[in-house]
Structure 1
Amino acid sequence: MRQLNRLNQFARLWQHSRGAAQQTSVAEMAERCFCSERHVRTLLRQWQQSQWLDWQAQSGRGKRGTLRFLQTPEQLRSALLQQQLDGGHPQQALQLVQLAPEQLAHLLQPFMGGQWQNNAPTLRIPYYRPLDDIQPLSLDGRAEQHLARHIFAGLTRFADDRLVADLAHHWVRSDNQREWYFFLRPQLHWHSGEAIDARQLQQQLQRVLQSEDGSKLLVSVKSITLAHALCLRFELHCPDNWLPHRLASVSCLLPHPQDETLGAGPYRLSHFSPTLVRIESHGWYHLQHPLMQTIEYWITPQLFDSQLGTSCRHPVQIAIGAQHELSLLRPVSNSISLGFCYLAIQQSARLSAAQAAKLMHLIQQAEIVAQLPLEEGLITPGREMLPGWSLPCWPENRHIALPAELQLHYHLPVELDAMAHKLQELLAAHQCQLQLHFHPGKSWKNYPHLASADLIMGDRLIGDTPEFTLESWLRLDPLWPAILPAERYRQLMTNLSEIQTLEQEPARFDGLQHTFQQLMSDAVIMPLFNYRYQVSAPPGVEGIHLNSWGWFDFTRAWVPPPVMIE
């Protein structure tokens, strides 16, 4: 880009004196700009016409003239950035800001938050790490899952913690509970404008069924067929009253069979790179259209722990706004997350049931969560797994000694690293050496050392309908077959199969509560702490309400026009 080259050469010239006026020659400036004297004269003429600087030359070869800078490189970058953004060219704008991460974050701050761009409302969100590819079958990150729910649609979806219709307008179940019919809305379209064919949805659901997670989530599904051009028929091996919930899961969101970047959600993906992710509303959406035309994630990585990586940060407190607005930001929504970080104990010969219960008791009594060196207000100690699912009082077992050595494996977020070291100190006081093993991932998928762990710490996201989320956790997470004996794990799966046959939702909730209460009583699992979710925004951004994922529904956010019509 010619503008970028001119700006970089100007920055080299400016850097020599840090913008101070100076006596210099064309030859010296050519050396600093790495170009010929002839080209420098051309640049000086252009820069002077653009009022970047003032150059008063002296006649005679090699004579020194007076150079005064009228702009700084940062001011010019900001102005050029504004021009590109106003023209609706964020990709070109990013090419103008080839700066170090901390400089980039500072430069971009004035352009964050709610903006009007070409008479279209745009929300720009500064984000701390690059996002993974938005592919529903392989998403672990909270931000990626939130984006996927806006880009793709499923037969059903969650809204305000309720299960509602999406691509299907309703569904019915046969009397024997082994056949389900999902009736599709007419005139559905992909983001490209292509009409959605029911056979495409059938094909994509078959793909989910054949995937590793999908085969576990939809284990009760025997076949998926077309009952009609606008009706999908699910035949089940056994009754499963969670089926509509399962089809609203992230892994059951449906991309286009030939182009996995295309979906049928309220926003289409228009740009995806390590520095910018942009989604735009489209006219083919089958439900209520969003109020915000464009959502942009501007990736501005910050300094991070080289061992834990950039993704170790856990942005549960999101601030949307420009630098000059930060003093005006107000918390528009906050909540205690239902999701939690947990400790699990492997049920094996290395650690007896009595020793596991003693360990749980020590952690519970020591209250080490309150001692973690973390930002105040970020987390809160876990007192229950879900509201009403209280922790048991594990026996002290004072006469029982802990093993001389134990292995703790844990993954992100970074708060678990602080927890691991506190736990190491606690067990050392009881003559138990705790070896720490950090896994730089967001889940235990494809982690080869899980079976060798005595203790395990991880993060359990909980979104909509928390009871169903925990049921899926038991089915999908490799944690459970790794820490439970084979017979106990088989019994757990049998128990889940019995619970899913219950027609009334409260009965299924009670069954799951009993299952988890038993796992906690047996010192298999305990929640350690929950996060305090918070979203802050400047006065000009409206319609932001925190959801159970710690984000807000993009379809409801809006910004008032810059000039109110009287």
Structure 2
Amino acid sequence: MRLLNRLNQFQRLWQPSAGETQQVTVAELAARCFCSERHVRTLLNQLQEAGWLNWHAQSGRGKRGTLAFLVTPESVRSGMMEQVLHKGQHQNALELAQIAPEQLRQLLQPFLGGQWQNDTPTLRIPYYRPLEPLQPGFLAGRAEQHLAGQIFAGLTRFASSNTAPQPDIAHHWHVCEDGLSWDFFIRSTLHWHNGEPVETAQLQQRLIMLLTLPAMRRLFISVKSIELAHSHCIRFVLHTPDYWLAHRLASYCSRLAHPEDTQLGCGPFRISSFKETLVRIESFDSYHLSHPLLKAVEYWITPQLFDTELGTSCRHPVQIAIGQQNELVHLRPVGNSISLGFCYLAIKQHGNLTPEQARYLLQIIQQQQLIASLPVDESLITPSREMIPGWKLPEWPMSRAVVLPARLTLVYHLPVELHVMAQQLKKHLADLGCELRLVFHNAKNWTQCTALAEADLIMGDRLIGEAPVYTLEQWLRSDELWPAVLSERQYAHLQATLDGVQIHPDEHTRNSGMQEVFHALMRDAIVSPLFNYRYQISAPPGVNGIELNAWGWFDFTQAWLPPPTMA
């Protein structure tokens, strides 16, 4: 990039005197810029014409001239960034910002938030880590799960105002009387992000491909076949009735990519750039539902210093600031809530802990105020006394002093708050004569975690989507946690119980059945929520339509920016 090269050369001239006027020879300047004397003379003329410096040469070879600087490299860089951003050249802006990560965020501040650039309303969000590619099926990261819902569409979808599935790619659907056949009638005006019409056979193909993924196959265990009933109808034929089916299809993991390109969808936004330093999505003009008012959303990846032991994914920013984060006085909280999702502790059955010891351990955590005393920001988490609202923890009578095993193993994964919790628990159990061995799994879920086999205790993070009761059913169906925690007999019984719950057409009956399932899991000290997060989004004035959703994000299709004031 020519602009970046010129800026780098200017910075080389600037550095030796930190901007003070210099007495220097042309040969010395050429050495600094790693170029010939002829080229450095041309460079000096160009920079002088640009108004960056003044150069007064002295006659005679080897004579020292006077080099005076009129601007700083930082002001030049900022001006260049404003110029390329106004032209919509966002990648050039990131190339101009090639500096240390801890400096990058400060440099980007004036350009973050909501701005009209090149007649395009654009929202720029600073983010703390690179985003993982959006692959079909389950995704580990909360940001990736939310982003998948903006890029891809499903047969059904969840709306923020309703826990029941709503039409999406399917205009409507019909369930036969016995619940074994579901017909989804596909809209006739769908297009992929590359402009090609969506064929119903492509949707069928991607759905079949999804069901080859082990976790997705467990989720859709009742599906016998997926058929083309006619050119605009997909039929699900089931082994046994499953009245969660429309919910399963509305989950982000069931959103449909093109069968030949996993980055191509038909949702409200299309991927324009997906790089380690920048993710940019742009509104899709042929989207089949309400069109976004924003034309582009950008994630500017500005990593901060991190704990090398725990990896770069440990910041877990449940409090998102859109815009100039170091000038919080200009930001306003536009949404806050207690997350329905939670961090949890699970206790392996038929392992080193008896049921009585397991209950005693959970009592220690809940009654000794271990969570409330964690050395973390008090505005970030809040101790939990229920799985989801209304599903309260059992109130066991306080056990007599129970002797714990001499050694236990705790396996845990991200977020970083679980690392703090593990250290606190280790210290407390040591006072009770129990040595707690800690094993950290550097990921956001249990995929490919071999350490689960040796665990007595397991701590993790569970996100809850727009339909909380269904999301918990999905957790029991698909997560690799449960075969590791439960005995083979217990796991088979759990799945059979879920099969018995899903056959009820009435949602209230299904919800009551799921509440009984989780009450039993908590009563038997198999799993317990530990704490919830406090979600918050702050934005500068002028960024409108931002409302927290179940993921702690906001629907990009609802955000909008007022047009710039006419001169």
Report the TM-score when normalising by structure 2. 0.98
CA displacement at 1:564 relative to structure 2: 5.6
Change (3 A) 1:55 1:324: farther
1:77 aligned partner: 77
In the other structure, the counterpart of 2:514 is 512
For 1:147, the equivalent position in structure 2 comes to: 147
Helix, strand or coil at the partner of 2:371: helix
Alignment equivalent of 2:290, drawn from 282, 288, 291: 288
- The sequence identity of aligned pairs, in percent, is 61
Superposed counterparts of 1:507-546, under 5 Å: 507-546=509-548
Q: What is residue 339 of structure 2 aligned with on the other side?
A: 337
CA distance in 2, matches of 1:322, 1:360: 42
Give the superposition deviation at 1:70.
Answer: 1.1
Q: Which moved more, 1:489-498 or 1:80-89?
A: 80-89
Which amino acid in the other structure matches residue 154 of structure 1? G
Offset of 1:434 from its aligned partner?
0.5
Aligned to 2:498: 496
Alpha-carbon distance, 1:53 to partner: 0.8
> Is the partner of 1:177 in helix, strand or coil?
coil
Matching residue's letter, 1:149: G
Q: Give the alignment of 1:59-458 within 5 angstroms.
A: 59-160=59-160, 161-162=162-163, 163-322=165-324, 326-458=328-460
SS at match of 1:311: coil
Distance 1:9 1:287, change over 3 A: same
1:503-544 C-alpha deviation (Å, 9 max, x unpaired): 111111111111111111101111000000000001110000
User: 1:324 Cα shift?
Assistant: 7.6
Confirm or deny: 8 A CA contact 1:112 1:125 kept in the other structure.
Answer: yes
Q: Supply the distance in 2 between the matched residues of 1:277 and 1:463 (Cα, whole angstroms).
A: 23
Which is worse superposed, 64-73 or 115-124? Answer: 64-73
Q: CA deviation at 1:349?
A: 3.6
Report Cα offsets for 1:95-138 as digits up to 9, x if no partner. 22211111211111110000001212000000000000011324
- The letter of the residue matching 2:105 is A
TM-superposed CA distance for 1:400, in Å, is 2.3
Which secondary structure state, in structure 2, belongs to the residue aligned with residue 371 of structure 1? coil
Contact 2:501 2:513 in 1 (8 A): yes
Q: Would the aligned equivalents of 2:345 and 2:528 in 1 still touch at CA under 8 Å?
A: yes
Q: Could you say if the C-alpha distance between residues 323 and 205 of structure 1 is closer, same or farther in structure 2, counting changes exceeding 3 Å?
A: closer
Secondary structure of 2:253's aligned partner: helix
Distance in 1 between the 2:82 and 2:402 partners?
A: 67
> CA offsets per residue over residues 405-448 of structure 1, 9 Å max, x none?
10001000000000001101111111101111111100001111
The Cα of 1:211 is off from its aligned counterpart by 1.3
Cα distance in 2 for residues equivalent to 1:511 and 1:107: 54
Question: Does structure 2 conserve the Cα–Cα contact (< 8 Å) formed by 1:357 and 1:395?
Answer: no
Structure 1 residues 143, 323: CA separation in 2 closer, same or farther (over 3 Å shift)?
closer
Q: Is the 8 A contact 2:223 2:237 kept in 1?
A: yes
Mark the runs of 5 or more structure 2 residues left unpaired by the alignment: none
Aligned residue in 2 for 1:5: 5
Q: What amino acid maps onto 1:35 in structure 2?
A: C
* SS in structure 2 at match of 1:458: strand
CA pair 383-564 structure 1, distance change in 2 beyond 3 A: farther
* Cα shift readout 1:372-404 (whole Å, capped 9, x = no counterpart): 111131000011111000011234332420000
The aligned counterpart of 1:477 is 479
2:351–2:456 contact (8 Å) kept in structure 1:
no
Q: Secondary structure at the match of 1:176?
A: coil
Verify the 8 A CA contact 1:136 1:250 in the aligned structure 2.
Answer: no
Instruction: Give secondary structure in 2 for the equivalent of 1:257.
Output: coil
Q: Sort the Cα spacing of 1:46 and 1:506 in 2 relative to 1 into closer, same or farther, 3 A.
A: same
Question: Pairwise CA RMSD of aligned residues?
Answer: 1.2
Contact 2:136 2:262 in 1 (8 A): no
Distance 1:319 1:138 in 2: 26
Q: Distance in 1 between matches of 2:419 and 2:306?
A: 14
Q: Is the Cα contact below 8 Å between 1:333 and 1:535 reproduced in 2?
A: yes
For residue 211 of structure 2, what is the amino acid of its counterpart? L
- TM-score between both structures, scaled by the size of structure 1: 0.98
CA contact (8 A) 2:202 2:259 kept: yes
Asked if 2 retains the 8 angstrom alpha-carbon contact of 1:114 and 1:540, the reply is yes
Q: Residue 25 of structure 1: CA displacement?
A: 1.4
Q: 1:414 to 1:44 in 2, by over 3 A?
A: same
1: CA distance, partners of 2:134 / 2:42: 47
State the AA in 2 paired with 1:219.
I
3-state DSSP class of the match of 1:136?
Answer: coil
Distance 2:520 2:187 in 1: 43
Shift in alpha-carbon separation, 1:317–1:324, aligned structure 2, 3 A: closer
Q: Retained in 2: the 8 A contact 1:110–1:323?
A: no
1:19 counterpart residue number: 19
CA-to-aligned-CA distance 1:123-160 (integer Å, 9 cap, x gap): 00000000000113241100001111010000000111
Q: CA deviation at 1:30?
A: 1.4
Distance, in Å, in 2 between the alignment partners of 1:235 and 1:376 is 50
CA distance in 1, matches of 2:12, 2:450: 50
Contact 2:273 2:280 in 1 (8 A): yes
Q: Measure, in 1, the Cα distance between the counterparts of 2:287 and 2:320.
A: 28
Q: Which runs of 4+ in 1 moved over 6 A?
A: none
CA contact (8 A) 2:439 2:451 kept: no
Counterpart amino acid of 2:261? D
Q: Give the drift of 1:10.
A: 1.1
- State the AA in 2 paired with 1:370: A
2:70 corresponds to which letter in structure 1?
A: L
CA deviation digits over 1:469-516, x for unaligned, max 9? 000000111111101111011000000000001111111111111111
SS of structure 1 residue aligned to 2:264: coil
Q: CA deviation at 1:323?
A: 5.7
Could you tell me which runs of 5 or more consecutive residues in structure 1 were left unpaired when the two chains were aligned. Answer: none
How many residue pairs get matched?
565
Structure 2 Cα separation of the partners of residues 137 and 470 of structure 1: 17
SS at match of 1:312: coil
One-letter amino acid of the structure 1 residue matched with residue 2 of structure 2? R
Partner secondary structure for residue 154 of structure 2: coil
Q: In the TM superposition, what is the alpha-carbon distance from 1:325 to its structure 2 partner?
A: 5.3
- Describe the shift of the 1:76–1:323 C-alpha distance in structure 2 as closer, same or farther (beyond 3 A): farther
Distance between the aligned counterparts of 2:400 and 2:436, measured in 1? Answer: 19
SS in 2 for 1:31: helix
Alpha-carbon distance between aligned partners in 1 of 2:440 and 2:261, rounded to the nearest angstrom:
36
Task: Give 1:300 shift.
Answer: 0.5
Deviates more, 1:311-320 or 1:18-27: 18-27
Partner of 1:36: 36
Shift of 1:302: 0.5
The match for 1:50 is: 50
- Contact 1:199 1:226 (8 Å CA) reproduced: yes
Please give the per-residue CA displacement for 1:1-42, whole angstroms capped at 9, x wherever unaligned. 222111111111111111111211111111222222111111
1:302 to 1:47, Cα distance in 2 relative to 1, 3 A: same
* CA distance in structure 2 between the partners assigned to 1:31 and 1:326 by the alignment: 44
